[in-house]
Amino acid sequence: MKGLIEPVVGRDWEEKEAGRKLKSHGLFWSPGSILMKEATFQIMDYGLWKQVV
């Protein structure tokens, strides 16, 4: 891949504490990144893509 990398972070809900807990989903290539060779991907929860090896 060629492009920018960005962290995907969200706020989780817990009992009586809406949005207080941060949850990291990891580092991902930003939209507009370019594949340098052919690859296959699976679309996961939240629209995140995971390479199928």
Domain boundaries, the chain: 5-52
Q: Compute the distance between CA of residue 34 and CA of residue 4 in angstroms, rounded to an integer.
A: 10
Q: What tens digit of pLDDT does each residue of 1-53 get?
A: 899 999 988 888 777 777 778 888 889 889 899 999 999 999 988 788 888 98
Q: Compute the distance between CA of residue 8 and CA of residue 6 in angstroms, rounded to an integer.
A: 7
Q: Taking phi first (over 0 means left), then psi (-120 to 50 degrees means alpha), and beta for anything else, what does residue 20 get?
A: alpha
3-state SS, residue 10 = strand
Q: Compute the distance between CA of residue 40 and CA of residue 5 in angstroms, rounded to an integer.
A: 19
Q: For the whole model, what pTM was predicted?
A: 0.61
